[in-house]
Amino acid sequence: MQLTSAKLKPVLANKFTNYLDFLLIFIDDEAAQRTPFLDWITMADMAKRELADVKDRALRFAIYMNCLSSERRIQLILEMQTPTLMIDEAYEIHSNSHAHKMLSNRIASGNGGGQYIELIKGSVDYPSPSKFKDRYENFEEFMDFRHMDGGMGLVAMCWTLTNFAIGSGANYEDPRFKRFLRLLRDHILISNDIASFDKELKDYKNGKFFNFVKTQGVMILKDLLALPTIDAAKSVLYAYQLEYGKLIDAKLEKLQSKCLTDDEWYLLDAYVIATTGNVMEAATMTRVPVFNSSYFEPDQ
């Protein structure tokens, strides 16, 4: 089955041809076609969804989070993040994925590029949790779990992509940045859980998101604080998001005493912009839609 053309102006389609071709490879790949997500959606399906309305999905994500990047690097970032999106949404992937070879061939060098490839390889082989906790001791424990699961474990890839986007040689694993990046990581988690909640809840009610109660931040907070309603839990989580913004500002002020280089400050600025871009895309991009066949139709 061929899909309708991606909804891009010709000039944009020409700029991102390689990314569109990458999606088509996932659609045609036999392993991707049989790799399920909770028994109702495959990686190939996710690629079809992405291709059906590409201008409001990964394209927006790449630009919002990497707006300091050159046009050429944005093109490469789109290719690089394709497997990330597939893993994030499909939650599991065959260890013999073609993504290893394809990424290594296309983006084998450059600041952040090599690190990203290694992280992708690790995530491809990283098993999804076989058992979710029934209850967390606190919200920080939940966020640590999310950092290691099939989705949020990929946040480190955001940092390597940011390095690549601006051509920075600074090391994001520098111990001086550990607390700062943790705050940004948690801000991304909270923002995404707030933005995706309603659609994920609908999927859960339709029997398509079995681990919703154990993996969605709003539901975790509702349980931890014994809140009476979902709306109350959303409000509290939004307050957490605002508080994390203040903590990020405070940490930046403390970093001023660390005698950072201009390159390191530029990288930290890029990380903050990436986190801000995540909020923008979470608010404007349908990242986790209720899946149905109307997202793509065969050409006549």
Q: Which residues are bridge partners to 298 per DSSP?
A: 3
pLDDT of 25 > 90? The answer is: no
Q: How many CB atoms lie within 10 A of CB 21?
A: 10
220 pLDDT tier (thresholds 50, 70, 90): very high
221 pLDDT tier (thresholds 50, 70, 90): very high
Query: What is the CB-side half-sphere exposure of residue 282 using CA atoms within 13 A?
Result: 18
User: 168, 267 in Cβ contact below 8 A?
Assistant: yes
Residue owning tokens 């994500």: 61
> pLDDT at position 120, please?
59
Torsion sign, CA atoms 109, 111, 115, 116: negative
Amino acid at 131: K
pLDDT of 102 > 70? The answer is: no
Token duo for residue 144: 């640590």
SS3 298: strand
SS3 290: coil
DSSP letters along 31-55, please? HHHH-EETTTEEHHHHHHHHHHTGG
Rounded distance between C-alpha atoms, residue 42 and residue 46, angstroms: 6
Mean pLDDT of the chain: 75
pLDDT of 293 > 50? The answer is: no
User: 195, 206 in Cβ contact below 8 A?
Assistant: no
Return the closest-CA partner of residue 121 out of 89, 142, 85, 97: 97
Most confident option among 157-171, 177-191, 283-297: 177-191
Distances 5 to 19, 41, 85, 124, 298 between C-alpha atoms, Å: 13, 22, 20, 29, 10
Q: Which residues contact 79 (CB under 8 A, 6 or more apart)?
A: 18, 19, 22, 103, 106, 107
Greater pLDDT, 88 or 221: 221
Class of domain 11-295: mainly alpha
User: 181, 159 in Cβ contact below 8 A?
Assistant: yes
Region 148-155: what's the mean pLDDT? 55
pLDDT of 110 > 60? The answer is: no
> pLDDT at position 51, please?
81
Q: Quickly list H helices, 29-154.
A: 30-34, 43-52, 58-65, 71-90, 99-106, 113-125, 139-148
Domain map (residue ranges) of the chain = 11-295
Distance of CA 128 to the CA centre of its chain: 16
Rounded distance between C-alpha atoms, residue 269 and residue 275, angstroms: 10
Token duo for residue 59: 């394209």
Greater pLDDT, 111 or 78: 78
Greater pLDDT, 245 or 51: 245
Region 114-119: what's the mean pLDDT? 61
> pLDDT at position 22, please?
79
253 pLDDT tier (thresholds 50, 70, 90): very high
> pLDDT at position 204, please?
86
What percent of the chain has a predicted confidence (pLDDT) above 90? 24
Q: Which residues contact 169 (CB under 8 A, 6 or more apart)?
A: 111, 263
Most confident option among 67-71, 125-129, 144-148: 67-71
